[in-house]
C-alpha cells in the first residue's frame, strides 16, 4: 500500500530565509506526487504536482519540488519565505489508474511558522 | 468559476445525534470525493463517486456513515449516532475524469462531537 511520511511536524523559519519541507513516499510503481497547502479555515490548495518527467517541478508562489526515485523523496523548497507562507503543508501520493487521480494518500502535514 | 461548495461550515453535536454534510462539486466534474481530516492529521479518503456510482467506500465506517450522490452532481455525507471520535473536518473534492487532472477541494465542514 502507498504511504507518505512527513518527518517534520513543525518548522519555524524567518521571513526571507529559505525553506525545505521533507516528504518520503512508499509506492510500488510510478508515483504521482503532490504538495498541497492549507491556510487557516481554508480548503486544500494545490501548490505543485509531479507526473513522470522532469524531476524538478515548479509551482505557485515560488515553490518548487524535486522528485528522487532513489531516495523515495519529494522535498518542497522555497528560496525566500514570506509571512503569507504561514500554513500547513501536505505531501500526497496517488495512483493514476483510469484517471482516478483524486484518490490521494496524504502525509501528516508540516506546520510552517514564519517569524520576523 | 465557482469552486467546490460545502455546507454547513461548522457543526457541533452531542454524542448519539445525527448530522448531514452537503457538497456541490465544480460543474462538469464527474468524480467526487469525501475525505475526513482529524485535527493535526492529513486527510483520509472515506468514499468516492464517479457520477452517481460509488467506486470505493472501503474506508467508510458503514455502520454509521453513509454517502449518496443520486443525480451525479451534489452529494450528501451522513453520520448516524455520532461519536467523539468523529470529530474532524470533512472535506469534499471533485475532479474531471482523465489522467493528470487536478483535484479541487472545498473549505470543509468542521464537526465537533461533545
A67: CATH = 2.60.40.10
Q: What is the pLDDT of residues A57-77, one digit of tens each?
A: 999 999 999 999 999 999 999
Among A49, A101, A104, beta carbon nearest to B45 = A104
A107: containing domain? 3-115
Number of structural domains (chain A) is: 1
- Whether A99 contacts B98, CB under 8 Å: yes
Cα distance between residue A106 and residue B9, in whole Å: 22
Across the A:B interface, residue pairs with CB atoms under 8 Å apart total: 65
What's chain B's length in residues? Answer: 114
pLDDT at position A101 over 70:
no
Best mutation target among B23, B29, B38, B43 (most A Cβ atoms within 10 Å) is: B43
Q: Which domains does chain B have, with CATH numbers?
A: 5-113 (2.60.40.10)
Q: What is the pLDDT of residues A41-50, one digit of tens each?
A: 888 999 999 9
Among B41, B44, B95, beta carbon nearest to A102 = B95
C-alpha cell at A74: 519529494
Residues of chain B with pLDDT under 50: none
pLDDT at B90: 97
Amino acid at each position: 500500500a502507498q504511504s507518505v511520511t512527513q518527518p517534520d511536524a513543525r518548522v519555524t523559519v524567518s521571513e526571507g530565509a529559505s525553506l525545505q519541507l521533507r516528504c518520503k513516499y512508499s509506492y510500488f510503481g510510478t508515483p504521482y506526487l503532490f504538495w498541497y497547502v492549507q491556510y487557516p479555515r481554508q480548503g486544500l490548495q494545490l501548490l505543485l504536482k509531479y507526473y513522470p518527467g522532469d524531476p524538478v517541478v515548479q509551482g505557485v508562489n515560488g515553490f518548487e519540488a524535486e522528485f528522487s526515485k532513489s531516495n523515495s523523496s519529494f522535498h518542497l523548497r522555497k528560496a525566500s519565505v514570506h509571512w503569507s507562507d504561514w500554513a500547513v503543508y501536505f505531501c500526497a501520493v496517488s495512483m493514476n489508474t483510469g484517471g482516478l487521480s483524486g484518490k490521494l494518500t496524504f502525509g501528516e502535514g508540516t506546520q510552517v511558522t514564519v517569524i520576523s | 468559476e465557482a469552486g467546490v461548495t460545502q455546507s454547513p461550515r461548522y457543526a457541533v453535536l452531542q454524542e448519539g445525534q445525527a448530522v448531514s454534510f452537503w457538497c456541490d462539486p465544480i460543474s462538469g466534474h464527474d468524480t467526487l470525493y469525501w475525505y475526513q481530516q482529524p485535527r493535526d492529521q492529513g486527510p483520509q479518503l472515506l468514499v468516492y463517486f464517479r457520477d452517481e456510482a460509488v467506486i470505493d467506500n472501503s474506508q467508510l465506517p458503514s455502520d454509521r456513515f453513509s454517502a449518496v450522490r443520486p443525480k451525479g452532481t451534489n452529494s450528501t455525507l451522513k453520520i448516524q449516532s455520532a461519536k467523539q471520535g468523529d470529530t474532524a473536518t470533512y472535506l469534499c473534492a471533485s475532479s474531471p475524469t482523465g489522467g493528470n487532472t487536478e483535484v479541487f477541494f472545498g473549505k470543509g465542514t468542521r464537526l465537533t462531537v461533545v
